[in-house]
Copies of this chain bind each other. A is one copy, B any other.
């Protein structure tokens, strides 16, 4: 008989966003008159048109496929050299970070990469995740059999949770116990927190001292505007010995529907086999990538490349400005009604403490029913997210202005 992967049965019922979608659908059916008033600040999905540089490049790429002379079939699994060179030159060099183009692996998105990376690691690692956390880090570990069963609060046995709280400004402290793999995400999803160079240097020091590897999710780095806040873990000396970085064009260039991301694995990064012998991690990933992936779409890679042109950079900055201005307006609106607010600077997410006495799903329902605004309940991101909610700044200006007005009214 064909046996399934039993670990899947440990997964808790709903991935967060389907559950939100379900509640919104029920509401819309029960209140058809209010359905058209709904404003979605839940899922972190971009709303604004793509930078024109990407549009033009993708039109040209489509045309390339229309004639034999310029046709492109299978590309290199790792991504075209011209895109990887552009990334090294334009995304890292300006930070003072030397990344070789052969350390970059282009993919169809950071969600895939953060999930798939577990393929190359063993089942005997102690794994640390932030709490609250992007659910993909946790669920993919459950699927891979790296956890025990779930607990009543939604956490899983066997994972080490790093509390991110108002007390530590949502930047986790080093664990007391030894861990082998650590997920870090800055600017953070869901809290919008950023880490300073000193804070990241502590983590790099920890990883080097403990032969651990940091899985650094920098999907939101384009939102960092303040000097001194790192865009890349590789701005920290020593990080090349102990970190993998995940990046995405989804938020930088509005590519959530276009699909492109990449991962950086330094040449010298070593894992250990079960005998303790060092093994270059990049070789494993290259083998995985070439065997289970067939390259990102040629059209999409041309679009991504164009984001690094002079026009592309200017247009991308305009896009980020738009969302950052939204975030600032949302921060102000929630502050003004007396709620405590984090994030929303150098990040597209605003993290808000619920009013006294309300749990985060209660606050979700209240916002949905009373002012027809969809937010994400913090508890959906982990037990330490209880008592908070996330507001996404990915929206049109009109919608954000309207949300601000409604929030003002709700708490008037």
Query: Which residues of A are at the interface with B, using a C-beta cutoff of 8 A?
Result: 1-6, 8-9, 11, 15, 18, 43, 45-50, 52, 55, 58-59, 62-63, 65-68, 71-75, 108-109, 111-112, 115-116, 119-125, 135-136, 139-140, 143, 180-181, 210-213, 254, 256-259, 271-274, 276, 279, 281, 284, 287-288, 290-300, 396
A-B pairs with beta carbons under 8 Å apart, 27 shown:
A1-B211, A2-B121, A3-B121, A4-B120, A4-B273, A5-B123, A8-B287, A8-B288, A11-B287, A15-B287, A43-B74, A50-B71, A71-B257, A73-B257, A74-B257, A108-B108, A108-B259, A109-B294, A111-B292, A112-B294, A115-B292, A140-B291, A257-B297, A259-B294, A297-B300, A299-B299, A300-B300
A298: nearest chain-B partner, CB-CB: B257
B291 contacts A143, CB within 8 Å? yes
A3: nearest chain-B partner, CB-CB: B122
CA distance A5 to B50 in the complex (A): 39
This protein's copies in its complex: 2
CA distance A288 to B8 in the complex (A): 9
CA distance A285 to B99 in the complex (A): 36
B120 contacts A8, CB within 8 Å? yes
- What are the 9 A-B residue pairs with the smallest beta carbon separation, nearest first? A115-B292, A3-B122, A1-B211, A4-B271, A45-B73, A2-B213, A73-B256, A257-B298, A72-B257
Question: Which residues of the partner chain B approach A294 to less than 8 Å between Cβ atoms?
Answer: 108-109, 111-112, 256, 259
Question: Which residues of the partner chain B approach A213 to less than 8 Å between Cβ atoms?
Answer: 2
A115: nearest chain-B partner, CB-CB: B292
CA distance A210 to B3 in the complex (A): 12
Given A15-B291, A18-B290, A290-B15: A47 touches B68 (CB 8 Å cut-off) = yes
A58: nearest chain-B partner, CB-CB: B62
CA distance A124 to B180 in the complex (A): 27
A270: nearest chain-B partner, CB-CB: B2
A258 contacts B71, CB within 8 Å? no
Question: Which residues of the partner chain B approach A257 to less than 8 Å between Cβ atoms?
Answer: 65, 71-75, 295, 297-298
A111 contacts B273, CB within 8 Å? no
